Structure 1
Amino acid sequence: MDQNEPPFTFRAVQNFVAAVEAQSVTRAAHMLGMSPSSVSQQLATLEAALGTRLIERSARQFRLTRAGALFLEPAKALLDDVGAAKVRLALADQSPPLSLRIASIEELDATVTAPWLLKLTERFPKAALSLISGASHENHDALSSRAVDMTLAVDTVAKVDWVERHPILRDPFILVTAKGFSAALNTAPMIRYEASLPIGRQIEAHLRRAGQPAARGFAFSTNQALFAMTAELDGWAITTALAYLGTPLARDLVEPRPLQMPKFSRRLELHARAGALGDLPAIIAADLRGCLAERVLPKASAQLGFIGGAIEIIQKT
C-alpha cells in the first residue's frame, strides 16, 4: 500500500452516511457530536481515498453525485455489518465498550426507563447508554437518520423493510375526566392530543368511526399538559393506560374511566435497523417486557381495574 495514499476509515463512512441522511454537514455534525469542519474533513478524506467526488455541497445545495449515489448503499451495509459484528463480540464478552443510543417515549420515563437501563448495564457492564424521549414519528426519523440505534414507537408508524420490529405491549385507550366530573360528555369540553401526533390521529379516526366527533378546542403534545387542562376546564380526554400510569401527578389531576364507545388500543414496539445489531434488539425487547410486567402491570391492576387484561405484554412469536 502506498504510504501517501489517503486512508479509508470507518469513521469517514459514518460521516458520509450521516451527512447524506441529514442532508446537511451541519446537521450531521450536531447528530454525531462533532464540529462541521471535522465532518467536512472526514468527507474530503473519504473522497480522496475513493478517488471521486461523492457530494456536491455549497451554501445553496447539497446533493449526491452519481458516484455518491452508487456508494451510499454499500456504505450503509458496511455500517450495519460492523455494528452487528460489534454486538456479536459484546455478547461473547470479547468487545471494547458498546455504545447504544435509544429513543424512548415519555410514557416510560417515570416508571420503566430507569430499571430497564439498569438491567442493560448489568447485562453489558461496559456499555455506554444514552436515551432521548420523543414522539413515535420523531423517534422513527431519528432511527432513519442513524441518530439512534433503537427506538420505541407505536404501530401507527409505517411498516418499512429496513426496520425490524419487536412487539412489546398492547396499550388500551381509556377515558379520563376532571375529578368529580358528572356532566354528559357532549356538553363538556374535550381536550385533545395534537393532530400532528400519531396518538392524536388515531383517537380522531376512532371518534369518527364511532360516530362521536367532538367540537375542536385545546390540543396538546404532552400527557402532563393534556391532563392539567382537562382538570382545569372540568372536561374530558381520551388517552391510554400507559400514558395515565406513566405520567407524574396524573392521579391528582384526572379520574380514569372506561370508554363510552367501542374499545380500541395501540401497540408499543421496539424498532431497530434490520440486521444492524444482531440479536441485541430481541434481548433488549425481552428485558423491557420484563420491566413492564414488574412495574406497570401491577399498577394497572390496582388503578385501572376496569380494563381487565386489555393491557398486556406481547411476547415475540
Structure 2
Amino acid sequence: MNQDDPPFTFRAVQNFVAAVEASSVTRAAHVLGTSPSSVSQQLASLEAALGARLIERSARQFRLTRAGNLFLEPAKALLDDVGAAKVRLALADQTPPLSLRIASLEELDATVTAPWLLNLSKRFPKASLSLISGASHENHDALSSRSVDMTLAVDTVAKVDWVERHPILRDPFIRVAAIGTEPGDGSAPMIRYEPNLPIGRQIEAHLRRSGQAPARGFAFSTNQALFAMTAELNGWAITTALAYLGTPLAQELVTPHPLDTPRFSRQLELHARAGALGELPTMIARDLRSCISQRILPKAAERLGDLGADLAIIQNT
C-alpha cells in the first residue's frame, strides 16, 4: 500500500457495520453515540481506503452496493475477532480498559443486577460496564444492531446461527390474584401482558392449547403495571415465578396460586454474538447463575412454597 493511500481504520469498519445494521446513518450515529456527520465521514474514509462504493445513500434510499455486500461479512468477522482478542487480553491481565454493554430483563433489576455487576467489576476492575433493561425481543434487536455485547433473553427468541446461547434459569408460569380473592372465580377479570411481547404470546398460546378463552380487557407491557391492575380490579393474571419474585411490592398487590392448566415454563438465556467475546459469555453466565442462586432461589422457597419448585438453575452443557 502506498503511504499516500487513505488509511483503513477499525473505527471506519465499526461505522460501516453499524450503518448497515441500522439501515440508516442517523440511527447508526445514535447506536454509536456520535453524530450523523461523523458516521458519514467514516463511511467516506472507508470507501476511499477500499477504492469502492459500499453504500448508496440519499434522502430516499439506503442500500448496499455489490462491493458493500461482499465486504459486509468480512467486516463483521473483523469486529468479532478484535472483540475476542480484547477479551483474551483482559483474561490475561494485559488489557486496555474493556467496555461491556449488557441488556438485561426488568425481573432481575431489584434483586440480581447490582450484585452481578459488582462481581463483574471486581473480576475486571478496568472494565467499563453499562446495562439497559428491556423486553426480551428488544434485547435481541439490540444484540443484532451491536448496540450491546450480551443480552438476557427468553427461549422464545428465534434461534439463529450468529447467536451463542447460554441457558441460565427455568422459569415456571404461575397464576396470581388480588389479595383475598381466588382466581377460579368466573367473574374475576383476567389481566394480560401485551400480545406483542414474547411472554404475552406464550401465555395466549398456552391458553388456546388448554381450551381457555378468558374475556379480553386490560393488557400491559410491565410486571408492575400488570400486578397493580390485577389488585385494583380484584382480578387474576398468568405470570412467571421470576416476575413475581423480582417485582418490587408484588407481595403487597397479589398472591401466587397454582395454574389450573398443565404446567409450562420459559427458559432464561444469556446471548452473545457467536465467537465475538471468547470465553467471557461462559464466565458471565456462570456468575449470573450464582447470583440468582443466592438472591432469588431462597425467596422462591419462602414466598412460593411448592409453586417455586420448578424454578431451577440450568447448568451449561
Q: TM-score normalized by structure 1?
A: 0.99
Note the C-alpha offset of 1:259: 1.1
Note the C-alpha offset of 1:112: 0.2
Report the CA distance shift for 1:255/1:214 in structure 2 as closer, same or farther (over 3 A).
Answer: same
Percent of pairs with identical residues = 81
- SS at 1:289's partner residue? helix
CA distance in 1, matches of 2:216, 2:139: 28
CA distance in 2, matches of 1:215, 1:278: 49
- What is the match of residue 94 of structure 1? 94
- What is the match of residue 66 of structure 1? 66
1:179 aligned partner, one-letter code: I
CA distance in 1, matches of 2:213, 2:99: 46
- What is the match of residue 85 of structure 2? 85
1:288-316 deviations in whole A, cap 9, x for unaligned? 00000000000000000022420000001
2:179 aligned partner, one-letter code: K
Note the C-alpha offset of 1:131: 0.5
Q: Is 2:121 the partner of 1:121?
A: yes
Kept in 1, the 8 Å contact 2:176–2:183? The answer is no
1:223-262 deviations in whole A, cap 9, x for unaligned? 0000000000000000000000110110111111111111
Report the CA distance shift for 1:168/1:183 in structure 2 as closer, same or farther (over 3 A).
Answer: closer
- What is the match of residue 241 of structure 2? 241
- What is the match of residue 258 of structure 1? 258
Kept in 2, the 8 Å contact 1:168–1:269? The answer is yes
CA distance in 2, matches of 1:39, 1:54: 14
- SS at 2:169's partner residue? strand
Unpaired runs of 5+ in structure 1? none
- SS at 2:5's partner residue? coil
RMSD over aligned Cα atoms: 0.9
Kept in 1, the 8 Å contact 2:241–2:308? The answer is no
CA distance in 2, matches of 1:276, 1:265: 30
- What is the match of residue 218 of structure 1? 218
Note the C-alpha offset of 1:213: 1.6
- SS at 2:152's partner residue? strand
Note the C-alpha offset of 1:13: 0.2
- SS at 2:239's partner residue? strand
Report the CA distance shift for 1:183/1:236 in structure 2 as closer, same or farther (over 3 A).
Answer: closer
Q: TM-score normalized by structure 2?
A: 0.99
CA distance in 1, matches of 2:51, 2:196: 44
Moved over 3 A (4+): 182-185
Kept in 1, the 8 Å contact 2:193–2:226? The answer is yes
CA distance in 1, matches of 2:16, 2:245: 42
1:190-218 deviations in whole A, cap 9, x for unaligned? 00000000000000011111112211000
Kept in 2, the 8 Å contact 1:84–1:277? The answer is yes
1:218 aligned partner, one-letter code: F
